[in-house]
Amino acid sequence: MEQFRIEQSQVVPLLETRFIRVFDLQYAPGKHYYDATRRKKEDLVCLKDETEFREMTADAVSCFVILRSAEKGPRLLFSYEYRYPCGQYLLSVPAGLIDPEDMKAPQPALEAAKREIREETGLEVKEGDRLSLVSPAVFSTPGMTDESNALVCAVVEEEGPLRLTQSGAVGSERFDGFVLVTPEEARELLRSGRDERGFYYSVYTWCALVWFVSGLWKD
């Protein structure tokens, strides 16, 4: 495999704000490749060596929340969250950034997942529930950003009346209700590629649907 590296001297900042940065990766004289990222220059993924790349922590976490009930069977929990670049409420999984405080935990992604599930659904992942790492990091679209998400599955035992709330929304977060999906409904969402409103959904919603219908969450 041909070795190719981007060096620090080839990375030129173009935009720096509190929430997003854009860097010009000048990989050859007169050649430009742009990277939109949350990371500071010294932590860019493109500058990591192979060992650092393998061990990096993702930027955020996306959660596959499965409610398990003896009476109703398993159901996958989604919400409709407003996605500003799309201008619509889209069928979404609970998700959020892995915060500096999470990095102090033995498994930062799991710590962040518990918090995001609580904030966006009102559910507490209890002792006896199952919280597991599906993937430590998957990239959103390496063609324009280095942003990555850890994928976490939470299997929550449904006990008594289900009390879901979106009152824990913070900052720019806007929600428009929940959707509980049975295995057959999940297959139909996969077949159609659209939600019940006729809208497309994110790749993380697709991943949650596949994980659910595959039955791998039971392992």
Query: Which two structure tokens, joined as six digits, stand for 171?
Result: 């900052």
Q: Where are the domains of the chain?
A: 8-55, 60-218
Q: Report strand pairing: 148-157 vs 60-68.
A: parallel
Class of domain 60-218: alpha beta
Q: What is the pLDDT of residue 1?
A: 59
Nearest to 92 by CA among 100, 84, 102: 84
Write down the H helix ranges in the chain: 50-55, 108-121, 183-192, 203-214
Asked if residues 117 and 94 have their Cβ atoms less than 8 Å apart, the reply is yes
* Ramachandran class of 206: left when φ > 0, alpha when ψ lies in -120 to 50, beta otherwise: alpha
Residues of the chain with confidence (pLDDT) below 70: 1-2
Euclidean distance between the first and final Cα of the chain, in Å? 36
3-class secondary structure, 116: helix
Tokens of 219: 């392992």
This prediction has a pTM of 0.94
- pLDDT in the model for residue 107: 97
Which residues 6+ apart lie within 8 Å of 17 measured at CB?
Answer: none
- What local confidence, expressed as pLDDT, does residue 129 receive? 97
Quick one: pLDDT at residue 142?
A: 84
In contact, 30 and 119? CB cutoff 8 Å: no
Asked if residues 160 and 187 have their Cβ atoms less than 8 Å apart, the reply is: no
